[in-house]
């Protein structure tokens, strides 16, 4: 749906102008919403109406708008975007249009174009060669790139929250730990089945608490059954997963007995060192050293992954991308094809992924801390559902709903 606003002023009610305009809108298969109406107090006073006209496509909208204009109503006509070349690498031109994560169209030479690679906090660059508009982060701008400047000719279409999408009916209300979760988990399972059957991908963004809470084997199950296509995580998830695979501990605590191992606090560094000796996680698997766990399943089942570095990392593991711009680019390459994102127990990676994802990708954020889900929802990702619950039982029940338990 694209929307344009028109205003009608004058004797629009008794002259039947409003009536005719609304007739025309409906006749063209478009829809309207009267957002403001001021009726003159006396017969001689002028009335005023503000109407939002919606159509399925930019072209249909153009058609109905041009038709309405003939009634003499003042139409708030759209103009073309203004394009200004960047003067320096890595710098937008002054007054650049700053993107949201909502679906966006730009008007160029009288026609509306969808913006590709929709992402928050980028500029919109026009590629003359292909005729396409695309979101580009500031660091990737090259001198000479044609960048959209100002708000003119830019239209944002917020993702519907209504029954049409209906991915998560339970998502209407606020983040709370005091709600029954079984309905939510059932709907998440349904969504994952749909996406698995489609050409879209399921993304897991996970923190090390997946391992600490004893949930690694649940994630392995999801991977083995094809429910995870991409994994975004940091060094910590992989390290603690590998620590558990090599020593049976996580942060030095035996997972099966919940008691600390002697010198267990060193296990994570020994795990890192072992993998570094083999050169990579993959090499350690091929050498038969790493035989279980999430990273083992990820590599064995061809799940794509990005391990992004952070300044609190020990080691890190060889596969960790220590340059954050390079890591962002790697993540960006993957999010284009994501149809569902499950974010578990990581604020940093969840927020980073939320920044990259278009707003129409449904996201479920699971954390025992309500602040994390709230933080993500605050960033304008309307499709983000926060589930305040414990990681391990959440994953256990998700497996049951997917008939994997």
Residue 377: CB atoms within 10 Å: 20
Tell me how far apart the alpha carbons of residues 218 and 239 are, in angstroms, rounded to a whole number. Answer: 17
Interface with its own copies by CB under 8 A: which range of 76-84, 101-109, 285-293, 370-378? 370-378
Instruction: Tell me the CA distances in angstroms from 375 to 175, 181, 194, 371, one per residue in order.
Output: 11, 20, 28, 6
Interface with its own copies by CB under 8 A: which range of 58-66, 155-163, 191-199, 344-352? 344-352
Q: Which is nearer to its own copies, 76 or 277 (CB)?
A: 277
Minimum distance from residue 228 beta carbon to its own copies (Å)? 20
Minimum distance from residue 358 beta carbon to its own copies (Å)? 16
> What residues numbered 275-304 form the site for its own copies, per CB under 8 A?
276-277
What mask, x for binding its own copies by CB under 8 A, covers residues 19 to 38? x--xx--xx------x--x-
Q: How many residues bind its own copies (CB under 8 A)?
A: 96
Could you say whether residue 362 binds its own copies (CB under 8 A)?
no
| Spatial CB neighbours of 162, under 8 Å, sequence gap ≥ 6 | none
Could you say whether residue 3 binds its own copies (CB under 8 A)?
no
| Spatial CB neighbours of 352, under 8 Å, sequence gap ≥ 6 | 232, 308, 328, 331
Minimal CA–CA distance to 233: which of 147, 320, 318, 174?
320
Interface with its own copies by CB under 8 A: which range of 8-16, 62-70, 155-163, 285-293? 8-16
For residue 343, list its beta bridge partners.
Answer: 205, 365
> What residues numbered 167-186 form the site for its own copies, per CB under 8 A?
169-170, 172-174, 177-184
Interface with its own copies by CB under 8 A: which range of 10-18, 54-62, 66-74, 333-341? 10-18
Q: Which is nearer to its own copies, 19 or 77 (CB)?
A: 19
CA-CA-CA-CA torsion sign (277, 279, 284, 290): positive
Sheet holding 2-10, edge to edge: 31-38, 47-55, 2-10, 74-75
Tell me how far apart the alpha carbons of residues 102 and 267 are, in angstroms, rounded to a whole number. Answer: 44
Q: Where are the beta strands (DSSP E) in 109-186?
A: 111-116, 123-127, 132-136, 146-149, 154-157
Residue 144: CB atoms within 10 Å: 11
Tell me how far apart the alpha carbons of residues 148 and 124 are, in angstroms, rounded to a whole number. Answer: 5
What mask, x for binding its own copies by CB under 8 A, covers residues 240 to 269? ----------x--x-xxxxxx----xx-xx
Q: Which is nearer to its own copies, 160 or 174 (CB)?
A: 174
Could you say whether residue 142 binds its own copies (CB under 8 A)?
no
> What residues numbered 188-217 form the site for its own copies, per CB under 8 A?
209, 212-214
Minimum distance from residue 269 beta carbon to its own copies (Å)? 5
> What residues numbered 380-399 form the site for its own copies, per CB under 8 A?
388-390, 392-394, 396-397
Q: Which is nearer to its own copies, 58 or 124 (CB)?
A: 124
> What residues numbered 75-114 form the site for its own copies, per CB under 8 A?
88, 90-92, 96, 98
Minimum distance from residue 173 beta carbon to its own copies (Å)? 8
Instruction: Tell me the CA distances in angstroms from 367 to 108, 255, 258, 392, one per residue in order.
Output: 43, 20, 21, 11
Could you say whether residue 132 binds its own copies (CB under 8 A)?
no
Q: Which is nearer to its own copies, 116 or 351 (CB)?
A: 351
């Amino acid at each position: 749906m694209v929307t344009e606003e028109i205003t009608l002023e004058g004797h629009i009610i008794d002259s039947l102008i409003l009536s005719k305009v609304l007739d025309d809108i409906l006749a063209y298969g478009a829809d309207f919403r009267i957002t403001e109406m001021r009726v003159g107090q006396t017969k001689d006073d002028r009335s005023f109406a503000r109407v939002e006209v919606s159509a399925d496509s930019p072209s249909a909208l153009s058609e109905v708008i041009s038709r309405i204009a003939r009634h003499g109503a003042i139409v708030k006509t759209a103009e073309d975007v203004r394009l200004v070349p960047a003067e320096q690498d890595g710098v937008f031109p002054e007054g650049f249009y700053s993107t949201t994560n909502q679906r966006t169209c730009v008007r160029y030479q009288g026609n509306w174009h969808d913006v590709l690679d929709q992402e928050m906090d980028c500029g919109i660059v026009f590629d003359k060669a292909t005729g396409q508009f695309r979101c580009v982060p500031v660091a990737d701008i090259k001198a000479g790139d044609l960048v959209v400047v100002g708000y003119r000719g830019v239209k944002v279409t917020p993702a519907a929250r209504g029954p049409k999408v209906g991915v998560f009916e339970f998502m209407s209300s606020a983040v709370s730990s005091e709600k029954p979760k079984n309905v939510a988990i059932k709907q998440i399972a349904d969504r994952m089945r749909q996406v698995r059957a489609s050409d879209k991908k399921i993304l897991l963004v996970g923190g090390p608490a997946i391992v600490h809470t004893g949930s690694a084997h649940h994630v392995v199950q999801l991977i083995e059954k094809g429910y995870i296509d991409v994994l975004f995580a940091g060094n910590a998830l992989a390290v603690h997963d590998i620590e558990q695979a090599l020593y049976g501990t996580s942060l030095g605590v035996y997972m099966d007995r919940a008691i600390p191992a002697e010198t267990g606090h060193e296990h994570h560094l020994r795990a890192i060192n072992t993998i570094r000796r083999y050169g990579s996680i993959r090499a350690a698997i091929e050498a038969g050293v790493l035989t279980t766990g999430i990273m083992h399943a990820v590599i064995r089942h061809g799940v794509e992954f990005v391990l992004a570095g952070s300044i609190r990392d020990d080691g890190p593991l060889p596969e960790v991308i220590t340059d954050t711009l390079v890591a962002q680019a790697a993540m960006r390459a993957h999010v284009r094809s994501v149809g569902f994102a499950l974010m578990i127990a990581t604020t940093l990676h969840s927020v980073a992924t939320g920044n990259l994802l278009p707003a129409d990708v449904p996201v479920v954020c699971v954390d025992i801390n309500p602040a994390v889900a709230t933080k993500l929802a605050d960033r304008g990702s309307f499709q983000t559902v926060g589930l305040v619950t414990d990681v391990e039982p959440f994953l256990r029940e998700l497996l049951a709903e997917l008939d994997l338990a």
